[in-house]
Structure 1
Amino acid sequence: MIHHNLALTLPVEVHTQILAHARAKYPHECCGLLVGTSARLNDKLLEVKQSIAATNHAAAADQRSAYAIDSRFWLQQDRLAAATGLKVLGIYHSHPDHPAVPSATDLRLAWPVYVYLIVSVGPAGTTALRGWILNPAENQFVEVAVRTLHQ
């Protein structure tokens, strides 16, 4: 099911950076923050302006199927974004050798105020990038339309 009242846009450069990060970290999960603005009534359009690659702080043995972003890094990036009129809109991460759909771990750790971009990546490269947001009333993810803006 796609969330019909919410859309996410990102410049082709950001899309390319996220995919490159996923390929570079394969077979481990990559992760990072999505920074931008929310527009329209009730934040129905999320406009990603930049992606900020983060170090995966999950235990080394878990990095093929998990990610963790350092809270101090997150707070620092949130403050830098706010100083320029932007905000952290969400998180991106990769699923090595798995589809770009949320896992049970993703569901357990998700916050409903953020959008999640998931990249499917394998030995041949990236195959999909999909957006998701948590519906807390049903405790499940709903897909968000993602549109890449070509300049």
Structure 2
Amino acid sequence: MVLELSEPHRDAIVEHARGGAPEEVVGVLAGTNGETSRVERRYRAVNAAETPETRYEIAPEAELAILERIDDAGFDVVGFYHSHPRGPLEPSATDTRLAAWPGRSYVIVSLAGEDAGIGSWRWRGERFERESVSVVE
């Protein structure tokens, strides 16, 4: 499993995470979905969680609007991204409990430490599997 992500998309996701700290940020990734998924577009979303410092949530009406934009553009939902401002790069127990899109990528940006780290996991319906992130042109 591979997530192909351009350098500008990767950098924009990390910048979004840094700019939103100390709260978690969230967004949706669009493009082509498969064993190798390619991100063509990203859509920032407002974190509507009651405790945005430790959780992320997209309000249902906002998520529907983003999903319609993705469909209208002729893309698939590749996955989602969010940040862990003080947490690890791996999905949390809450991330696992709330994951709802089998076969999609969940990108996490960790801001813990000096440099931001970015990783991706594919949701398999019951668990996450780490996938490679390939930075492409």
Fold conserved between structures, TM > 0.5: yes
Where does residue 64 of structure 1 map in the other structure?
53
Kept in 2: contact 1:17–1:51 (CA 8 A):
no
2:105 corresponding residue in structure 1? 115
* 1:142 equivalent in alignment to 2:129: yes
Task: Kindly provide the amino acid, as one letter, of the partner of residue 17 in structure 2.
Answer: A
Residue pair 1:116, 1:131 contacting (<8 A) in 2 also: yes
Inter-partner Cα distance in structure 2 for 1:123 and 1:31: 20
Q: Quick check: 1:54 aligned with 2:49?
A: no
1:11 aligns with 2:9: no
Q: Which has the higher strand share?
A: 1
TM-score (ref. length: structure 1): 0.84
Deviations 1:5-62 (A, max 9, x none): x111011111111000000011110101001112xxxx21110011111100001xx1
Amino acid at match of 1:84: A
SS of residue paired to 1:66: coil
Paired position in structure 1 for 2:36:
45
Is residue 26–residue 122 contact of structure 1 (8 Å, CA) maintained in 2?
Answer: no
Asked if the contact 2:106/2:122 (under 8 Å) is kept, the reply is yes
Q: Take 2:129 and 2:123, find their aligned partners in 1: how far apart are those partners?
A: 6
Which residue number in structure 1 is paired with residue 65 of structure 2? Answer: 76
Partner of 2:30: 35
| TM-score, normalised relative to structure 2 | 0.92
Identical aligned pairs, as a percentage? 32
Rounded to whole Å, the distance in 2 between the matches of 1:90 and 1:72 is 18
Structure 1 segments of 4+ aligned residues over 6 angstroms from their partners: none
Structure 2: gaps spanning 5 or more residues: none
